Amino acid sequence: MPPLRSSDATRFATGVLNVDKAAGETSFAVVNRLRRLTGARRVGHAGTLDPLATGVLPVLFESATRLAEFALKLPKTYVADIHLGFVTATDDAEGRLEPVGDPSDLATADVESALQEFTGRIQQQPPAYSAVKVDGKRAYRLARGGEPTRPAPREVEVYEARLLDFQTGPRAVAQVEVRCGSGTYLRSIARDLGQKLGVGGYLGRLVRTAYGPLTIGNSVRLEQLVEPDAVRDRLLPAEVILPEMERVRLNVEQEAQVRQGRPVRVLPEPAPGQLRAHDAEGRLVALGHTDPLRRTFVPEKVLS
């Protein structure tokens, strides 16, 4: 991949940091710590992880923050411990345990069979304690105020769900791996799997092991980053969080025009659809689309 560069000496570099978020810390707190450490003007994240969850959290620096909406389209992979026999108001281990049924008679085949019903495009009801809005208010605020209400079901996509391990007994635990699209709640899968099995369920340990091409094996913990250069050295090019799209190459004159928001004619002529434009050295310059009538690349988001 081409080297990263800052647009000028006063800005931090543009790029993506693959952070392994620790348990107990919010995604917002991770962003704040990195902003203070680096002095970057713009820092954000793509895809919130609950405080109890750990694993891959893409942190975006400078112009890369403008690509967050595209990053959310990438598939995510999670490994989750689903505890059976109990439910909680929060659908995870933070709530008070309420016994529902004895899972001792459940076999591995029972869990595997039930789990397959949560693949494909499914209707999923978000947890009562979630950031989904209900009548203009966050569901978790209503729940904390004594007005717990289940947000309306919505469609999510689960590409794959498989059972990794099953510990039988009255405190049965199913360890599952789920590969899914944006907006999928693992807490809801835990709750609904327990309901399907007739014994109740809630989410325990949750690790996001992959976010698109970013994996936990290539991530970095915050305690490893003690100075700005340590962050800069671990930055990945912004395009790692983009879904697949056709690339167009700009010469120097075309790049200057695109940076001013002007459409340009590029060869070979790209197919209709979303495009990403790179400069002569391979660095990402802009995202845009094809104008089939004028046969031009039309920039939509220009990166500094």
Contact 50, 140 (CB under 8 A): no
Contact 62, 232 (CB under 8 A): no
Residue type, 49: L
Instruction: Respond yes or no: is residue 165 known to be catalytic.
Output: no
* CA-closest candidate to residue 87, choices 76, 73, 74, 101: 101
3-state secondary structure of 149: coil
3-state secondary structure of 237: coil
How many other C-beta atoms are found inside a 10 Å radius of the C-beta of residue 45?
21
Catalytic residue chosen out of the listed positions 20, 50, 91, 192: 50
The burial of 292, by beta-carbon neighbours within 10 Å (0-12 exposed, 13-18 middle, 19 or more buried), is given as: exposed
Residue type, 289: H
231 to 33, 60, 211: CA distances (angstroms): 12, 11, 19
Residue 111 DSSP label: H
* CA-closest candidate to residue 82, choices 230, 194, 226, 161: 194
3-state secondary structure of 238: helix
Return d(Cα 47, Cα 16) in angstroms, integer.
13
Active site residues: 50
